[in-house]
Chains A and B, each alone.
Chain A
C-alpha cells in the first residue's frame, strides 16, 4: 500500500476532525490529499506532531483530533506517546504511517523493522491499538481506531517511495496557525 493512499483514506474517514500532520512528505501528502481549514501541517519540528496534537486535544476536548504521523517522527518524539497515554484524551486519534524509512530524505532505514510502535503505544496506555498492512486491513483498522473514545493508535505499514505529483503546502505558517486556531475554537 502506498503511503499517499493511506494518508488520503485516513483523512477521508475522519472528515470532521482537527488534523495535525507531521513534517516531511506526510504533511505534503495531507495537503495534496484534500486540504481543509482544520488541517495543521508541521514543516519543521520533527517529532512534535503528537505533542501538538495532545495539546490541541486537551484544549478542545469536544473536538476530535487526528494526528497523522510517520515512523521517523514517532521514534524521534517517542516520549510523547507516554504523555498521550498518561493524559488519555478521549478525543485523540493517532495514525502512524510506517514505511520503516525516512521517506523525505531518501528512504534511509529507520529502526521500525525491529521496533514495534503499536506495542509501545499499547504499553503507554492508548486504549485501542490496531495495525494495518493493506487496503482491507486499513479499512478495518480505521474502524477500530475511530470506533470509540481515544486515545487510539493505528500503525499502517506502507511501501517506501513517494508517489508523483505531491504538492507543497501553499499557505504561510502564520496562515496555517490562524485558520487552525479559528477552526478549533469555532
Chain B
C-alpha cells in the first residue's frame, strides 16, 4: 500500500480525472476519500459543489452535464441506496453520463478479518457498513453499470478507460475505492 505517498495519490487521482476531461465535481464525503476531497475543496466554487445528499449530487451532476460539463459524483458506498432512483430514472433513462466514485466501506461485510483490521470486536469495519460492504457491487450490477476497483498502479489508465466507456455508452459508470488509498497519514 502507498503509505506515506497516499496524500499524493489523492492528487494523482484528481489530476487523472481532470486530464481525462472531467471538469465538474460534486458529492458527499467519505473518510476513505479524504485526500481526494482535499483537492476538491481547493477548487473554485463552480467546479466543486458540496452536496447535501447523494441523489441530489447526481441531480446537480446531471444539470451540469446539460450545461456542457463532464461530471463526477463522489460518495461513500452508504449513499448508493439513495442514489438508485436518480441513476435509474435520470442518468440511465436520459442517457446522461456521470462517473460515480464510491468508497468501499465494510469490504468483507462481517466475515474474514483482514490484516490491519481496526473495526469493533475485530470485524472488518464498523457495524453500519456491514450491509453495504457486502452488497456494494450488487448496486452497480442491478443497474448494469460498468465499474472497476481502483488500482493505484494503473490508476491513470483506469480513469481514461472509464471515461471512454462513459462517453461511448452515454451511461453512468463507477470506480470503487478500497480502504487505504486516500486516507492520508492520520
Q: Is the CB of A51 within 8 A of B85?
A: no
Q: Is the CB of B94 within 8 A of A56?
A: no
Most chain A beta carbons < 10 A, residue from B45, B67, B93? B67
Q: How far is the CA of A53 from the CA of B50 in the complex (A)?
A: 15
Does A111 count as interface, using CB distance less than 8 angstroms? Answer: no
B123 to chain A, nearest CB (A): 31
Most chain B beta carbons < 10 A, residue from A47, A48, A55, A80? A55
Q: Which of B71-91 contact A (CB under 8 A)?
A: 71, 85-86, 88-90
Does A83 count as interface, using CB distance less than 8 angstroms? Answer: yes
Of B32-40, B53-61, B138-146, B159-167, the segment with at least 4 beta carbons within 8 Å of chain A is B53-61
Q: Which of A143-186 contact B (CB under 8 A)?
A: 173-174, 176-177, 180-181, 184-185
Our pick among A20, A48, A181 for the contact of B65 (Cβ within 8 Å) is A181
A16 to chain B, nearest CB (A): 16
Chain B residue at minimal CB-CB distance from A61: B46
Q: Which residues of B sit under 8 angstroms from A44, Cβ to Cβ?
A: 85, 88-90, 93
Our pick among B24, B57, B59 for the contact of A45 (Cβ within 8 Å) is B59
Q: Is the CB of B95 within 8 A of A55?
A: no
Q: Is the CB of A174 within 8 A of B64?
A: no
Q: Is the CB of B63 within 8 A of A57?
A: yes
Give residues in B with beta carbon < 8 Å to A. 24, 26, 45-46, 49-53, 55-69, 71, 85-86, 88-90, 93-96
Nearest 4 pairs of A and B residues by beta carbon: A59-B67, A55-B63, A44-B89, A51-B59
